[in-house]
Amino acid sequence: MPRKMLKPKEKRGLPEPDSKFGSVLIARFISKLNFEGKKSIAESIMYDSFDIVKERTGEDPVLVFNRALENIRPLLEVRPRRVGGATYQVPMEVPVIRSTTLAINWLIGISRSKTGKPMREKLAQEIIDASKKEGAAVKKREDTHKMAEANKAFAHYRW
């Protein structure tokens, strides 16, 4: 058990920019991709997937990555709200930090769920697909928006 408790999320701040591209967003992605504390392996997977993206698209991989995350980020989500004895799925707008975190989690989760290829190739393919507004991550975003649209009748329960 730690001697000092962690700071609340609001006060922790963002990580340092990554060493190769100088982007805080890429540093956040690498931290989420980190598995069993092996950050150097997560960095190599990310940078190798960027090399694959550059080879396949001919564009700057950072721009493709940013475009992909913009295409995945949800604008609305449903959150459960208990009123009386019933629980309603209330549509709410998603703050920018949370929407970016959701996009990162979806991109990594979908890449990990695919089988048959190394992680760097799966991640590169998913980034390319998301930048073209295709793929499973964009479908997940669309499903989230459809769910929020379907539950629009409960929007007055927003707090």
Summarised one tens digit per residue, pLDDT across range 22-37 is 999 999 999 999 989 9
Find out whether 88 and 78 touch, Cβ atoms under 8 Å.
no
Residue 9 lies in a domain: no
CA dihedral sign of residues 30, 34, 40, 41: negative
- Helix, strand, coil shares of the chain, percent, nearest 5, are 60, 10, 30
Query: Does residue 4 lie within any of the structural domains?
Result: no
| CATH of residue 37 | 1.10.455.10
Total domains in the fold of the chain: 1
Average pLDDT rounded to a whole number, residues 128-133: 96
pLDDT at residue 1 is higher than 70? no
pLDDT of residue 11: 77
* Predicted pLDDT of residue 147: 94
How far is the C-alpha of 41 from the C-alpha of 50, rounded, in Å?
14
6 within a domain of the structure (yes/no): no
